[in-house]
Amino acid sequence: MEELDIKQLWSSYEAKLERSLALNLKVIKELQTQKVAHKLRSFRRNQVTGVILGVIWIAFLVFLLINTLHNIYFVISVGFIILFNVFATVAYIRHLVMLAEVNIEDSVTESQRKITEIQSSFTNVGRILVLQAPFYCTFWYNSDLVANAGIGFWLIQLVIVSFFIFISIYLFKKLTYKNRHIKWVKTALESFGGKTLTKAMDFLNEIEEYKTEQS
Amino acid sequence: MDTQKEQFVSVIEQNKGIIYKIANSFNTDEEDRKDLVQEIIFQLWRSFPGYNNKSKFTTWMYRVALNVAITWYRKERKKTALMSPISENVIELLEDDVPIDNEANLKLLQQFINELKELDRALMLLYLEEKTQKEMAEILGLSETNIGTKVNRIKEKLKQRFLKISNN
């Protein structure tokens, strides 16, 4: 089939559609009055909720920190937890800014790139938050405990904290897009919403290749 | 506002075929296609006040509609749907007794389009709609040289597909 035949085929399809397509004005009016709630806004709503909850959680942790300044172990552990949560909250605010910058009137590659970047960033926040896990094992230490606990206690603590440090760093390093060829990483990423990340990164690469490919 | 609403209905009426063809190329399931058509028209209406005459109306419309269709296609469809979807079709396909010559080839062509990756699919649609390379470049955000290369590659693929079928 030659190019001309294909174009003719398409124009006869167009002519058929012209004859048979009818607009439902009632539905258009409903869409125009925006009586319908829209799920695309749910992502924005989730990010706003994330920011509010993040701020409340950080405020609560800061309040605890200020009232427990005498305990250096608590200050260090909760201090780090606060930093991780500040990071996540700032990332959520950044997503809202990025979302506001998405314009569906932009060219297809440009707006799809922006949408995809938000998706990949969103999934990465969870991966980074994994790193705060070890600090949840140490915030309850205090001077009395450090002075009086026996060797058995510290050995158990060492095992627990080391395990959480190891596992959180390991997961942080492994659960990345570039490791998706490893079966368990792929499964884990997909179970924790990373499928979106994988798809997003694939598409980002595709857009970049699409833009640069010349021959 | 009422004038704007009427203007919008009028341009959608003139270009309903574009919306239908894009939705059809990104969604073959009838129920999902109905939702995608609603979504495209909803987003066009939301963006309509921002349309300035810098580019042709159809160029603007293709940008919005293709962006919505690709985003829709890439997400789980149910998640992007209107929360309370309207049960009726915005664009209805009425019975038409006049058959298209070579209906089998049209089906094959549609199947070919549906198998392409999102960006190639958008490009193929624009090519079939006889858009100029300049318009395609403007809609997709690519250089004209790049468009030329890609169109030739897809055309070649399509030619091979039809050749393979006719040889069988």
Question: Which pLDDT band holds residue A20 (cuts at 50, 70, 90)?
Answer: confident
Chain B residues closer than 8 Å to A23 by CB: 9, 12-13, 16, 90-92
Question: Which pLDDT band holds residue A41 (cuts at 50, 70, 90)?
Answer: low
Same-domain check for residues B47 and B116: no
Q: Determine the average pLDDT of the residues in A162-176.
A: 90
Task: Determine contact: B76 vs chain A, CB below 8 A.
Answer: no
Q: Which position has the higher pLDDT, B165 or A183? A: A183
User: Of the ranges A27-31, A34-38, A156-160, B77-81, which is most confident?
Assistant: A156-160
Nearest CA-CA distance, residue B29 and chain A, Å: 17
Q: Determine the average pLDDT of the residues in B21-35.
A: 83
Same-domain check for residues B104 and B160: yes
Question: Which pLDDT band holds residue A203 (cuts at 50, 70, 90)?
Answer: confident
Nearest CA-CA distance, residue A111 and chain B, Å: 7
Question: Which pLDDT band holds residue B71 (cuts at 50, 70, 90)?
Answer: confident
pLDDT > 80? residue B128: yes
Q: Determine the average pLDDT of the residues in A31-58.
A: 76
Same-domain check for residues B105 and B142: yes
Q: Determine the average pLDDT of the residues in B104-133.
A: 88
Q: Which position has the higher pLDDT, A197 or A86? A: A86
Same-domain check for residues B75 and B89: yes
Same-domain check for residues B3 and B68: yes
Yes or no: say if A36 and B86 are a contact pair by the CB < 8 Å rule.
yes
d(CA B90, CA B17): 12
pLDDT > 50? residue A66: yes
The reply to whether the predicted model has a pTM over 0.80 is no
Last residue of a domain, one of B52, B79, B94: B94
Tally the domains of chain B.
Answer: 2
Mutation for testing the A interface, residue in B13, B63, B103 having most A CBs under 10 Å: B63
Contact A27 B88 (CB under 8 A): yes
Q: Which position has the higher pLDDT, B50 or A38? A: B50
Same-domain check for residues B76 and B3: yes
Contact B63 A13 (CB under 8 A): no
Same-domain check for residues B88 and B7: yes
Question: Which pLDDT band holds residue B83 (cuts at 50, 70, 90)?
Answer: very low
Element at A30 (helix H, strand E): helix A25-32
- Please, what is the average pLDDT of chain A? 83
Same-domain check for residues B90 and B101: no
The CA–CA distances, whole Å, from A5 to A75, A80, A163, B62, B152 equal 75, 67, 67, 24, 16
Q: Determine the average pLDDT of the residues in B153-160.
A: 86
d(CA B102, CA B125): 19
pLDDT > 70? residue B22: yes
Contact A28 B21 (CB under 8 A): no
Contact A109 B119 (CB under 8 A): yes
Q: Which position has the higher pLDDT, B40 or B75? A: B40
Mutation for testing the A interface, residue in B37, B67, B73 having most A CBs under 10 Å: B67
pLDDT > 60? residue A29: yes
Q: Determine the average pLDDT of the residues in A24-32.
A: 78
A23 vs B13, B100, B159: nearest CB: B13
Yes or no: say if A28 and B9 are a contact pair by the CB < 8 Å rule.
yes
Q: Determine the average pLDDT of the residues in B35-43.
A: 87
Q: Determine the average pLDDT of the residues in B20-42.
A: 85
A20 vs B50, B96, B106: nearest CB: B96
Chain A residues closer than 8 Å to B38 by CB: 27, 31
Question: Which pLDDT band holds residue B124 (cuts at 50, 70, 90)?
Answer: very high
Q: Give the CATH number of the domain where residue B9 resides.
A: 1.10.1740.10
Same-domain check for residues B104 and B51: no
Its domain, for residue B74, covers 1-94
Instruction: Name which of B27-36, B121-130, B148-157 the model is least confident about.
Output: B27-36
pLDDT > 90? residue B103: no
Q: Give the CATH number of the domain where residue B128 resides.
A: 1.10.10
Question: Which pLDDT band holds residue A185 (cuts at 50, 70, 90)?
Answer: confident
d(CA B133, CA B144): 6
Three-class SS of chain B: CHHHHHHHHHHHHHHHHHHHHHHHHHCCCHHHHHHHHHHHHHHHHHHHHHCCCCCCHHHHHHHHHHHHHHHHHHCCHHHHCECCCCCCCCEEECCCCCCCCCHHHHHHHHHHHHHCCHHHHHHHHHHHCCCCHHHHHHHHCCCHHHHHHHHHHHHHHHHHHHHHHHHC
Summarised one tens digit per residue, pLDDT across range A97-128 is 888 888 878 888 888 888 778 777 776 787 88
Q: Scanning the structure block, which residue is given the tokens 């609403």?
A: B5
Last residue of a domain, one of B94, B109, B128: B94
Same-domain check for residues B139 and B80: no
Same-domain check for residues B73 and B112: no
pLDDT computed for residue B78 by the predictor: 46
Q: Which position has the higher pLDDT, A192 or A81? A: A81
Same-domain check for residues B22 and B50: yes
Question: Which pLDDT band holds residue B65 (cuts at 50, 70, 90)?
Answer: very high
Last residue of a domain, one of B94, B117, B143: B94
Yes or no: say if A95 and A121 are a contact pair by the CB < 8 Å rule.
yes
Chain A residues closer than 8 Å to B138 by CB: 107
Contact A27 B155 (CB under 8 A): no
pLDDT > 60? residue A215: no
pLDDT > 70? residue A195: no
Closest residue of chain B to A119, computed from CA coordinates: B75
d(CA A202, CA A199): 5
